């Protein structure tokens, strides 16, 4: 059983940076991929960034070049470094873990029921 707890959210002005952390209890290496997802009011949850067991990563197009996902297996922690933040990045950000394999890393960006562990979310607000 994996439990995930996000932290690091907050309010920043456009152009600013935040680093989100997701502390995992349990064994992260049992997860084929882990991801960051976000949900803005009135919108569906979407994948932002994902990383698999070998370190392969994938990003949603709007965050490429601005966000970086990483993980520290020794600390059982997943990170999302967010730079050059924009007002449209405002959302609740969730981390999640998926144990089933995917044939392509970008499949891990899909927030479906294959992700069987979710954190409670952390709010990110970017003002213009």
pLDDT digits (tens, 9 = 90+) for 62-88: 999 999 999 998 888 999 999 999 999
Q: What is the pLDDT of residue 25?
A: 84
Closest CA to 22 of 86, 94, 88, 92: 94
Average pLDDT for residues 99-106, to the nearest whole number?
90
Q: Which residues, including other chains, have CB under 8 Å from residue 17's CB and lie 6 or more apart?
A: 81, 82, 83, 84, 85
Average pLDDT for residues 94-106, to the nearest whole number?
92
| Model confidence band, residue 116 (pLDDT cutoffs 50, 70, 90) | confident
Q: What is the pLDDT of residue 105?
A: 92
**pLDDT of residue 21 exceeding 70:** yes
């Amino acid at each position: 059983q994996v439990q995930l707890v996000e932290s690091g959210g907050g309010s920043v002005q456009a152009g600013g940076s935040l680093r989100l952390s997701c502390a995992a209890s349990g064994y992260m290496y049992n997860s084929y991929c882990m991801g960051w997802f976000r949900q803005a009011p009135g919108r569906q949850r979407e994948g932002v960034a994902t990383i698999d067991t070998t370190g392969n990563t994938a990003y949603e197009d709007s965050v490429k070049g601005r966000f970086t996902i990483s993980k520290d297996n020794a600390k059982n922690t997943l990170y999302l470094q967010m730079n050059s933040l924009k007002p449209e990045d405002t959302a609740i950000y969730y981390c999640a873990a998926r144990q089933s394999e995917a044939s392509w890393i970008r499949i891990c960006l899909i927030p479906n029921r294959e992700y069987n562990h979710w954190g409670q979310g952390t709010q990110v607000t970017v003002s213009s």
